[in-house]
Structure 1
C-alpha cells in the first residue's frame, strides 16, 4: 500500500468516525484533536478500524508521540502506518479475507489470501 492510498484510507476513516467533518477538513497537516475536534472515543474508533482494515499494528508509540501538542496530525498517523507497513514482511501485509460457509453436517472456515 502506497502512502497516498494510506492517506486516502485514513481520511475516509476519519470522516466515517466523525460525521460532522467535510472531506476538505481532513487535511494532512490537520490536528486530529484541535482542528478536527476528535476526542478519545473518535480516536479509538479510528484506530480500531485501521487495525481491522489496514494492518494489525501496535499504535501505542503513535499515541505517545501524538499526545504532545501538534503531533497528532493526519499526516503523522499516515507516516506511522507507512513506516510500519514497510517494515513488515510482504506476507504479513496481506490481510486474509475470511469466508465462512455453514453446512448442516459440518462447519468450515476457508482462508483466502487477498
Structure 2
C-alpha cells in the first residue's frame, strides 16, 4: 500500500468516525485532537478500524509519541503506518509460504497418515 492510499484511507476513517468534519478539514497537517476535535473515543475507534482494514500493527508507540509532543497529526499517523508496513513482510507472502508444501513434504505426510 502506498503512502497516498494510506492517507486516503485514514482520512475516510476519520470522516466516518467523526460526522462533524468536512473532507477539507482533514489535511495532513491537522492535529487530530486540537484541529479535528477528536477525543479518546474517536481515536480508539479510528485505531481499531485501521487495525482491521489496513494492518494489524501496534499503534501505542505512535500514540505515546504524538501525545507527548503534541504531534498527533494525520500525516504523522500516515508516516507511522507506512513505516511499519514497509518493515514487515507482506501478509500475502507469509500466507503463500505457509500454504506451500513441497512434493517431498506431501509424501512424508502420506506416510505418516498411513
TM-score bracket relative to the smaller structure: 0.7 to 0.9
Match of 1:88 in 2: 88
Match of 1:109 in 2: none
Greater relative contact order, per chain length (Cα 8 Å cut-off, separation 6+): 2
**After the TM superposition, which residues 36-47 of structure 1 pair with which residues of structure 2 at under 5 Å, given as runs?**
36-47=36-47
**Distance in 1 separating the partners of 2:6 and 2:58:** 16
Could you say what the CA RMSD is over the residues aligned between the two structures, in angstroms? Answer: 1.8
Unaligned 5+ residue runs, structure 2? 96-114
Match of 1:17 in 2: 17
Higher percent of residues as strand: 1
1:91 Cα deviation after fit: 2.9
TM value normalised by structure 1: 0.79
Q: How many residues align?
A: 95
Contact 1:28 / 1:73 at 8 angstroms: preserved in 2? yes
- SS state at 1:72 partner: coil
1:70 Cα deviation after fit: 3.1
- SS state at 1:61 partner: helix
**Distance in 2 separating the partners of 1:29 and 1:76:** 8
Match of 1:63 in 2: 63
Unaligned 5+ residue runs, structure 1? 96-114
TM value normalised by structure 2: 0.79
- SS state at 2:76 partner: helix
